[in-house]
Amino acid sequence: YQWNSNLCANHGGQARRSVTDLKKPLIHARITDMSQKRVLSGIQPTSDSFHLGNYLGAVKQWVELQDSHDTFYCIVDLHALTIETDPTLLRQRTLASAAQLLALGISPDKATLFIQSQVPQHNQLGWIMECLAGFGEASRMTQFKDKSAKVGSDSARVGLFTYPMLQAADILLYQANLVPVGEDQRQHIELTRDLAGRFNARYGDTFTLPEAYILKEGAKINDIQEPTAKMSKSSGSVAGVIEIMDSPDANLKKIKSAVTDAGREVKFDPIEKPGISNLLTIHSSLSGISISQIESDFVGKGYGDFKAAVADVVVEYLRPIRERAQELLLDEKHLLSILHSGSEKARTVASATLD
Ligand code: AQP
pLDDT tens-digit map of 214-268 = 998 878 999 999 999 999 987 667 899 999 999 999 999 999 999 998 888 999 9
Buried b (16+ CB within 10 A) or exposed e, 2-39: eebeebeebbeeeeebeeeeeeeeebbbbeeebebbbb
Choose the catalytic residue: 60, 230, 254, 307. 230
Helix (H, G, I), strand (E, B) or coil at 74: strand
pLDDT at position 218: 75
- Give the pocket of ligand 1 (CB within 6 Å): 43-44, 46, 53-54, 57-58, 181-182, 184-185, 219-221, 230-235
The CA radius of gyration of the chain, in Å to the nearest whole number, is 21
Q: Is 233 annotated as catalytic?
A: yes
Helices assigned H by DSSP within the chain: 2-10, 19-23, 52-54, 60-65, 77-80, 87-104, 121-132, 135-139, 142-151, 158-172, 186-203, 248-256, 274-287, 291-297, 303-329, 332-354
pLDDT at position 31: 44
pLDDT, tens digit (0-9, with 9 covering 90-100), for 63-119 = 999 999 999 999 999 999 998 889 999 999 999 999 999 999 999 999 999 999 999
Q: Which atom of ligand 1 is nearest to the CA of 183?
A: 35
Question: Cα–Cα distance between 85 and 335 in angstroms, integer?
Answer: 22
pLDDT band at 34 (very low <50, low <70, confident <90, very high): low
pLDDT at position 7: 34
Question: Cα–Cα distance between 28 and 101 in angstroms, integer?
Answer: 27
pLDDT, tens digit (0-9, with 9 covering 90-100), for 171-182 = 999 999 999 999
Choose the catalytic residue: 233, 254, 273, 345. 233
Residue 53 Cα, ligand 1 centroid: separation in angstroms? 7
Work out the number of other CB atoms within 10 angstroms of the CB of residue 297: 14
Biggest CA–CA distance in the chain, Å, is: 71
